[in-house]
Amino acid sequence: MTGHQSLRTALDAIDTERELGVIRLTHRTLRRGGLPAPRIAVAGLNPHAGENGLFGREDLDVIAPAIRAARDEGILASGPWPSDTVFMRARAGEFDAVVAQYHDQGLIPVKYLGLERGVNITIGLPFVRIGVDHGTAFDLAGTGRADHTSLLTALHHADRLSSMTGCPR
């Protein structure tokens, strides 16, 4: 939902229309990637997805209406799911993608599950944009200790996505 910004700014940026737009974009991207009916999980914002309003109303009042609207459009979106378990469920194959509400909510599990193969794919652009998921690694530059696996994974995905979308390679 949000990018590199403070948590306070990210929280202020979350609204129903933006949420629905990100769900739609995720759906379109996965369909273009070959999934005819992608299953999209939407992570909740608050602990335990708000626990029916006990831990804040954003999950009920902002996120859930966007999920309902997406479902009304035929998108297989579900949630909001507690973020402490939704990524494990996706890894087990229950979902094809997870819409995270803010930067670290999505990147912590991705990096934990495999930083050395993690890549960042920016969707919604008119071109393929992929980067390594570990950042610049300036602290390793010139030491002979850097691992190039993430770069090779990023190049592999860039080649694959370019051929699927008709982008120049």
At 21-54, the pLDDT tens digits run 999 999 998 998 889 999 999 999 999 999 999 9
Contact 11, 56 (CB under 8 A): no
Q: Minimal CA–CA distance to 99: which of 35, 165, 47, 27?
A: 27
Residue 143 has which token pair?
């030491």
Q: What is the pTM of this model?
A: 0.86
Of 87, 114, 141, the one marking the end of a domain is 114
Tokens of 116: 């050395």
Q: Nearest Cα to 131, choosing from 113, 110, 109, 101?
A: 110
For residues 7 and 52, membership in a common domain is answered with: yes
Please tell me whether residues 106 and 61 are part of one structural domain: yes
Q: Are residues 76 and 10 in the same domain?
A: yes
Say yes or no: 29 and 70 in one domain.
yes
70/92 same-domain check: yes
CA dist., res. 80 & res. 56, Å (int) = 13
Per residue in 111-152, pLDDT (tens digit) is 787 767 777 778 888 888 888 877 777 888 889 888 888 888
Domain span holding position 163: 118-169
Residues 124, 109 share a domain:
no
Residue that finishes a domain, picked among 91, 114, 137: 114
Rounded to whole angstroms, how far apart are CA atoms 60 and 46? 10
